[in-house]
Structure 1
């Protein structure tokens, strides 16, 4: 894989802790990490290892206590809360284990939400939203509510919502955690295709090694630091 010299994501000596003195609890103890455009990275580790904290910092949902987080070379710590929100809205897509869909709202309206926040006109929202649903194979259920969809379909709607803005980075937090094996494979094939065919950088937290196998690099966290990194062999 080729990439530019500037990582899209870089953590430099990143620490996150809570409390002071003897009561200080560390979630991250000094993490150095570079992720380049077009990578598919899986982040693994036991509960309390720091992987979710790292993901929240990368997603601009949290800030480091010490160290730096750079997004395309920009020090995110120097940005205001509003600027971080703009970065999150314009460059990052999110997929969650729990789908996080609005229950009484149709699939297409759920997918359109990020475009609504951007102020995109209604006709353009609908066209772009339908294209996103088509890309996950769900255009036929555009007007169904989440309650009328299976778990796998709901997660695919959530993926369509995450990619409707054509984000630079897609963050997936346990995206297959609520799905059976067949539906999990469907979701992973989708994420792989967006990474491979559209060059979207995918960063996924998972505890399932068979799901992590779809990634090109797996990073293992333990006790707030990176324990080891595995690169997938290129056939």
Structure 2
């Protein structure tokens, strides 16, 4: 069974005669344990593609299958459960809750899953340890650097043990040193913990950490390269 399969995916916005077609019939297969860099200029369709993969948006037509399940046939509640149980998200702007500690931020998705507090704390501390922030668990956002905040965001994303991790410009707000730290963490999560990762990025230097590069242009895949890039 294919991990992720996209068949003839179209996505249009607006109504005729002012329709904009963001995706124009995309076909894509993603295998488990891949680490994919999704690239392309602004307006190329890469962000639309990532939103569809994360079930944050729906295609106008086509089929999206996740582990054999037709995602397009799911209702809103079922898509929310799919995200909660199988997909993790890392955002460029970190999206951490203000005035809360690193531990409390990591706990949040586990609260939604109704995991008991004792177990929740254990899992959250393990996730913080995986990103090297176990000693900072009680620090609030304003006491953390940008790189540390992004590591908290990664810990939050992996605490629920997702099969698929979507990272949207995870190094976009960081300097070179911090960017390398984040990419090394993501690479380790992919290699050691077998998490499939799709990363949207504009930064060619970050691609060397991935196993596959997909270039979008004008709503279609223009290049798909596997192996050491």
TM-score over 0.5 for the pair:
yes
Q: Separation in 2 of the partners of 1:20 and 1:73?
A: 32
Deviation at 1:8, TM superposition (A): 1.6
Quote the residue 1:3 is aligned against: none
Quote the residue 1:225 is aligned against: 220
Deviations 1:120-145 (A, max 9, x none): 01111111100000010001010100
Counterpart selection for 2:205 from 210, 218, 221: 210
CA contact (8 A) 2:212 2:225 kept: yes
Deviation at 1:22, TM superposition (A): 2.0
Quote the residue 1:153 is aligned against: 148
CA contact (8 A) 2:208 2:228 kept: no
Unaligned runs of 5+ in 2: none
Counterpart selection for 1:42 from 21, 37, 42: 37
Count of residue correspondences: 229
Quote the residue 1:192 is aligned against: 187
Q: Separation in 2 of the partners of 1:181 and 1:58?
A: 28
Within a 5 Å distance, the mapping from 1:126-165 to structure 2 comes to 126-165=121-160
Counterpart selection for 1:64 from 53, 59, 62: 59
TM-score, structure 1 as length reference: 0.96
Within a 5 Å distance, the mapping from 1:8-47 to structure 2 comes to 8-47=3-42
Moved more, 104-113 or 225-234: 225-234
Unaligned runs of 5+ in 1: 1-5
Q: Separation in 1 of the partners of 2:16 and 2:57?
A: 22
Moved more, 36-45 or 18-27: 18-27
Deviation at 1:233, TM superposition (A): 3.3
Q: Separation in 1 of the partners of 2:214 and 2:48?
A: 14
Q: Separation in 2 of the partners of 1:53 and 1:84?
A: 17
Name the Cα RMSD after superposition. 0.9
TM-score, structure 2 as length reference: 0.98
Q: Separation in 2 of the partners of 1:7 and 1:150?
A: 39
Quote the residue 2:79 is aligned against: 84
